[in-house]
Structure 1
Amino acid sequence: MNLVRTSLLNGVAVVIKMLTLLGLNKVLAVYVGPAGYAAIGQFQNALQMITTFTGGAISNGVVKYTAQYHDRPDRQLKLWRTAGTVTIVGSVFVGVLVALLHRQLASVFLKDENLGSVFLWFSGGVVFFSLNSLLLAILNGRKEILLYVTANIAGSLLSLGVTFYLAIQYGLFGALIALVIYQSVSFVVTLLLCVRTKWFKISSLFGCLDKETLHNLSGYFLMAVVSAACVPLGQMLVRNHLGSTLGWEVAGYWEAMWRLSTAYLLLVTTTLSVYYLPRLSEMKTGGEIKKEVLDGYRLILPVAVVAGLLMYLLRDTIVSILFTSEFYPMRDFFSGQVVGDSLKICSWIMAYVMLSKAMVKLFIITEILSCVSFYILSVVFTDLWGMAAVTWAYAFNYALYSLIMYVFVYRKLENYSASESEKAT
């Protein structure tokens, strides 16, 4: 399956998910307001960090090795059983820990102990949440694009229905609960899609741990832990800086802009994870990888640039339709954000080479440097030039990251061979 066909099939799910996210933006804008947006952003960052230790940290590894073992079903089965067992054990452990510390977590992340029951909801469904991510990774690695698309469509529609109802009924509290339960419910749909295939059985998710597979996945665990610690933490620190210096409404504007950016870039970012990660994982020489990267630049980057330009030109209309009059000041964030989004995609196309080839040390170092740089630049830029400068800090940070990716990844592809970075297994 080539890049164009994958993009078109994935585009169906992306359009539905995008419409869902935009609809949810409107619901949340009406029922929780700018300050509520900031709280939702904090909570999502907390979930990102916590779910890393439930097995979510190895999802990219499952995609990579499922694709790499495409002609060895016995190795795929060992991989899935090891990953499934790790996911279940990790989820149960994290679920119990979250339940015990639910009030403290609410105090740290939401600044309100009375919202501790939200974390109890999370602890009750975290196993299904994590297993859903694992099944989606398996579908992705096997290039079962139709099933993957169907599962994602079901998840999008469920998230819309659940969030719409709970946010209207219970405001911010309901919106927070919706964030933790819809993926758990989506697990049922994803599982039914998998068991209908000839290659999957429920027993594929349980079994003895394979030592070699654990070793292979450990690198992805380290990369995911660093990413899960740095990226959400960096966003939380920036959000706290905006809230404490410029007001929590400003932090809410930035969160709304960030969510909008995530929505319109979905086609690009999901194509990278759905097509690029398994495709690059199969390749053995630097020449093949370099050609695939260049193809990505020819197709994916122009889409991101055009989408960003349209976002900027239609910013007033977008804010008025998707949000409320309270969010009008966020229009000042658009220029820096869309420039940063284009630079992000430019760097991510190369960064996926690191993921596909398990370049653990390089990934960890660049991830930490990028997140630290983003926070420092955000503080300096906003102190000097005001609230909208946070998006220009984001753009400048990804310009630096793109340069690093070019120097340490792209320029070295010609001399790359699979045996240099990882042993064929």
Structure 2
Amino acid sequence: MGILTHKFLSFCKHVTRADIVKVFTLTSMSTLVKMLTGLVSVKIVAAIIGPTGVALLGQLHNFTTIVMSLSCGGINNGITKYIAECRDNPDEVKSLLSTGLRIIVGCSLVVGILLILLHSFLSNYVMLSPDYGYVFIILGFTVLLYALNMMLISIINGYKEFKKYVKINIANSIVGLIFTLCFVLTLGLDGALISAVTYQSVMCFVTLWMIRKLPWLRWDYFKKKIELRVSKKYFHYTLMALTSAATVPVSQMLLRGYVISQISPVEAGWWEAMNRISNMYLMVITTSFSVYYLPRLSELKGILALRREIFKTYKVIVPILFVSFSIIYLLRFVIVRVLFTSEFLPMENLFLWQLIGDFFKICSWLLAFLMVAKSMAKAFVTTEIFFALTFVGMGFLFMQWNGVIGITQAYFCNYVIYMICMIIMFRKILFRSTI
């Protein structure tokens, strides 16, 4: 017993000293604030617009994910990676930021114009109704501000300004909650849809004010002409980001559309509610990945260094996931009652497969992030498209057997296969005996 206690204490000491745990600790405050504001927002929105409204909001959320990625030119991860690598070289940083700004402004203007011109078509295709064209017009006019905000946050991440990053996230969460609730309480479903496409744009002004004293926030860093050399470097990230933007949201939209039309809009709302809960608890992990893991992998050179970092992160993440997901499953009834209304109680049947799927999702992401950090565009695009197709295919198939629960079962199966694929793809890094 004494030996086991000693080993457990040694493990805890090792875990608490890990860099990623320090980042977890640093981001825990912003994550807590974001979760609390998310809880309040989800509760009020669900109570006002119900399961059907939540499903409709989910359709819009998936579409805006695509639009936002297009408006940023897909280069935000590239900005973080290259700033992390070159932050001590001001001339290269100026080239990266100047080219990045021009790409983002150009993409945003094109996307905004298309949204305004095609608002009627998008209302029918995305929202399955002709009544919501105004939402896409508003999005078209505000999308540039969102793209600029995401660029600023990517730069902060690249410079490893962790404390500033945390403070901005806290401010954004609070302002976003106030903004959303004002619209929802005033306009109901219409307010929920409007806030969904505009609140991120409002955050641009909050971010600018909070970083106004940082040395790189000067026109001198953004005034150089666009450079073809830098554009080519960013292009790999454009391919990866646009692929993600076109696969994950589209696959969810296809599956949700099937549930709405063939099963029930209410059950589609249950699945969307499950996705919102999933996004909420995964935010703790993914925030730390974005803040620490991606820049860290970008910095490391050599197989041995990468292997050490990956295994060190697994030792920290896997126990946290197991304990956290077990607690969430045991408290699923309480979570549904707190976050939603009695109309959502049947969604407790979705928790088991969703949680197991999320476990494999995060475990596979620890390897998949290598594709982003090392600009493996071809591998990333291929795997994203393939596994989006398998998710949709298995989702349709499993729904024939188990209804809406079949989507979560397909989600689980898809990420188990994805995990196996990542292990095979990076087997030399994980298992090669000689360096």
Q: 2:119 aligns with which of 80, 92, 102?
A: 102
2:251: which partner in 1?
234
* Cα distance in 2 between the residues matched to 1:114 and 1:385: 33
1:89: which partner in 2?
106
1:415 positional shift? 7.0
Could you list the runs of 5+ residues in structure 1 that have no partner in the other structure?
A: 417-425
- The 5 Å alignment of 1:137-148 reads 137-148=154-165
- The 5 Å alignment of 1:335-414 reads 335-412=352-429
2:109 equivalent to 1:70: no
1:28 positional shift? 1.4
Q: Is the 8 A contact 2:60 2:193 kept in 1?
A: yes
Q: 2:68 aligns with which of 51, 60, 84?
A: 51
2:273: which partner in 1?
256
- The 5 Å alignment of 1:146-185 reads 146-185=163-202
* Cα distance in 2 between the residues matched to 1:112 and 1:240: 12
CA displacement 1:100-130 (0-9 Å, x = unmatched):
1112111111122221111111111111100
2:137: which partner in 1?
120
Q: 2:296 aligns with which of 261, 279, 299?
A: 279
* Cα distance in 1 between the residues matched to 2:177 and 2:206: 15
Q: Is the 8 A contact 1:40 1:176 kept in 2?
A: yes
2:25 equivalent to 1:8: yes
Identity %: 38
Q: Is the 8 A contact 1:354 1:409 kept in 2?
A: no
CA displacement 1:335-391 (0-9 Å, x = unmatched):
111101111000001111110001111101110111111111111112112321221
* Cα distance in 2 between the residues matched to 1:179 and 1:410: 41
1:188 positional shift? 0.9
Q: Is the 8 A contact 1:84 1:206 kept in 2?
A: no
* Cα distance in 2 between the residues matched to 1:354 and 1:409: 10
Q: Is the 8 A contact 1:85 1:206 kept in 2?
A: no
* Cα distance in 1 between the residues matched to 2:75 and 2:128: 31
1:88 positional shift? 1.0
* Cα distance in 2 between the residues matched to 1:51 and 1:205: 21
CA displacement 1:113-165 (0-9 Å, x = unmatched):
22111111111111110000000000001100111111111111121111111
1:200 positional shift? 2.6
1:304 positional shift? 2.1
| DSSP-derived class of the 2:74 partner | helix
1:2 positional shift? 2.5
1:187: which partner in 2?
204
2:41 equivalent to 1:28: no
Q: Is the 8 A contact 2:254 2:392 kept in 1?
A: yes
* Cα distance in 1 between the residues matched to 2:73 and 2:353: 31
Over the residues paired in the alignment, what is the CA RMSD in angstroms?
1.7
* Cα distance in 1 between the residues matched to 2:130 and 2:260: 19
Q: Is the 8 A contact 2:84 2:158 kept in 1?
A: yes
Q: Which structure: larger Rg?
A: 2
CA displacement 1:154-201 (0-9 Å, x = unmatched):
111121111111111111110111112111111112112222112331
Structure 1 residue identity aligned to 2:107: G
TM-score under structure 2 normalisation? Answer: 0.93
2:313 equivalent to 1:288: no
1:224 positional shift? 0.8
* Cα distance in 2 between the residues matched to 1:205 and 1:128: 16
Q: Is the 8 A contact 1:344 1:398 kept in 2?
A: yes
CA gap of 1:391–1:288, structure 2 versus 1, over 3 A, is same
Structure 2 residue identity aligned to 1:282: E
CA gap of 1:314–1:280, structure 2 versus 1, over 3 A, is same
CA displacement 1:305-344 (0-9 Å, x = unmatched):
2221111100111111110011011010011111011110
CA gap of 1:205–1:410, structure 2 versus 1, over 3 A, is farther
* Cα distance in 2 between the residues matched to 1:171 and 1:56: 33
* Cα distance in 1 between the residues matched to 2:119 and 2:200: 20
Q: Say which is worse superposed, 83-92 or 202-211, in terms of deviation.
A: 202-211
Q: Is the 8 A contact 2:306 2:429 kept in 1?
A: no
Q: Say which is worse superposed, 272-281 or 385-394, in terms of deviation.
A: 385-394
1:420: which partner in 2?
none
Q: Is the 8 A contact 1:287 1:413 kept in 2?
A: no
Could you list the runs of 5+ residues in structure 2 that have no partner in the other structure?
A: 1-17
| DSSP-derived class of the 2:75 partner | helix
